[in-house]
Amino acid sequence: MSAPALTNRPGAALETILSRALAAGAILVAFVFVSGLVYLLARGAPRLVAFTTLPFPAQIDGEDAFRFALAASLAALAMWGARRAVRPLLSAAVDRALRVAAIPVALVAGLALRTHLPRFLIGMPSETEPGGGIGPELFNTVYLAVLSTAATLPIGIGAAVYMARFARAKRWVAALRAALDTLASLPSIVYGLFGFLVFVVALESGYSLLAGALVLALLNLPLVVGITEESLRAVPRELEEASLALGATQVQTTLRVSLPHAWPGILSAIVLAVGRVFAESAPLIMTAGTTVSRANAYSLDPLRGGETLAVHLWYVNSSGLAPDRAEVSAGTAAVLVALIATTNLLAARLAGPRKK
């Protein structure tokens, strides 16, 4: 659209100035975010690369397993990055061989490296002393994301399938939409209050990861349902009609034709939901608590409380007495950003090119 505009119109000069100003403003806006991100990573990086040798076996239950998983994941990530970097230089065969070899190598590397990890990523947090780490928080964050997504996905996909394919009457759909709009508009603090009322007060189960996971699952429902529904609608009609023409029932068609076709969209919904779980803190303060404990730092029991990385970042700045608060905060923020970036990368990889 490059129509030759009349440049000697009155006002053309003003327009050029305004356009330049707009451009400058937009670039400034982007610059603010990029520089903030760079500062964060620069400030937090020192903690993340301070590798030490750790005692084996670990003193805390489950820490060895966590260390292994962390080491293997880091190794896999490093290898994937390296492979991407040198891909143009390799032949297809070598590339495929590397891809196949990646998993076993990562696992072996994990076993070998699990005693040589950054202390910050494994250590217990400290209330008053310098040198605290975020090991349990990191584990809690990932575990909570898994729990929460496991709760959101079935319900969200089910509701979306109902809305898009199986709804009988318009008003049920309208009710469902109203409910989802309501959920989407609630401030996150309301979810925290709800979780507090139900789990801490009514059920008297105290702070627990399960409470946090369920509350965040609610929070993510509008997102998952919205994207899944949209993906289902994007399935070409011809595909479904062909399936029906072959004698499949509506349910069979939906399950075996529509949903698989919508999978990339559903995957992006999962990634966004996981990203939100990483990022939320207000609902979790009132449902999962703000502490970690040596006794159950890496335990898989969902009924125990535990703070996540985002909550830890807030806690350290609001109540922490450790003198290295700023460094711990920077490291926590950097790990959070890295987690989110990795999840997004993974999803982009898994989904492949997606039609918008």
- Pick out residues in 120-149 that bind another protein (CB under 8 A): 127-129
342 belongs to the binding site for another protein (CB under 8 A): no
344 belongs to the binding site for another protein (CB under 8 A): yes
Q: Which stretch binds another protein (CB under 8 A): 45-53, 82-90, 115-123, 227-235?
A: 227-235
Residue pair 314/280 in contact by the 8 Å Cβ criterion: no
Distance set, CA 246 to CA 82, 241, 243, 256, 343 (Å): 47, 9, 5, 13, 39
Instruction: Name which of 165, 152, 347, 350 is nearest 255 in CA terms.
Output: 165
Give Dmax over CA atoms of the chain in angstroms: 79
Instruction: Name which of 286, 303, 78 is nearest 191 in CA terms.
Output: 286
Q: Please say which residue, 52 or 250, places its beta carbon nearer to another protein.
A: 250
Total length of the chain: 356
# of chain residues touching another protein (CB under 8 A)? 157
Q: Please say which residue, 90 or 111, places its beta carbon nearer to another protein.
A: 111
Compute the Cα dihedral for 101, 107, 111, 117 and give only its sign.
positive
Can you tell me which of 41, 74, 98, 179 binds another protein, judged by CB under 8 A? 179
- Tell me the closest approach of the beta carbon of residue 324 to another protein, in angstroms: 10
Binding mask 22-61 for another protein (x = CB under 8 A): xx-xx--xx-xxx-xx-xx---------------xxxxxx
- Tell me the closest approach of the beta carbon of residue 53 to another protein, in angstroms: 16
- Tell me the closest approach of the beta carbon of residue 52 to another protein, in angstroms: 19
Reduced to 3 states (helix: H, G, I; strand: E, B; else coil), residue 118 is strand
Can you tell me which of 86, 94, 150, 197 binds another protein, judged by CB under 8 A? 197
Residue pair 224/273 in contact by the 8 Å Cβ criterion: yes
Can you tell me which of 139, 281, 288, 331 binds another protein, judged by CB under 8 A? 281
Q: Which stretch binds another protein (CB under 8 A): 46-54, 81-89, 90-98, 156-164?
A: 156-164
Can you tell me which of 88, 92, 170, 238 binds another protein, judged by CB under 8 A? 170
Residues in 238-277 that interact with another protein by CB under 8 A: 240, 244, 249-253, 255, 267-268, 272, 275
Q: CB under 8 Å to 45, separation ≥6 — which residues? A: 334
- Tell me the closest approach of the beta carbon of residue 300 to another protein, in angstroms: 9
| Look-up of token digits 């070998």 | 112
295 belongs to the binding site for another protein (CB under 8 A): yes
Residues in 59-118 that interact with another protein by CB under 8 A: 59-61, 63-66, 68-69, 72-73, 76, 99, 102-103, 106-107, 110-111
Alpha helices in 206-253 (DSSP H): 209-233, 237-245, 250-253
Compute the Cα dihedral for 338, 341, 343, 348 and give only its sign.
negative
Q: Please say which residue, 118 or 165, places its beta carbon nearer to another protein.
A: 165
d(CA 297, CA 63): 8
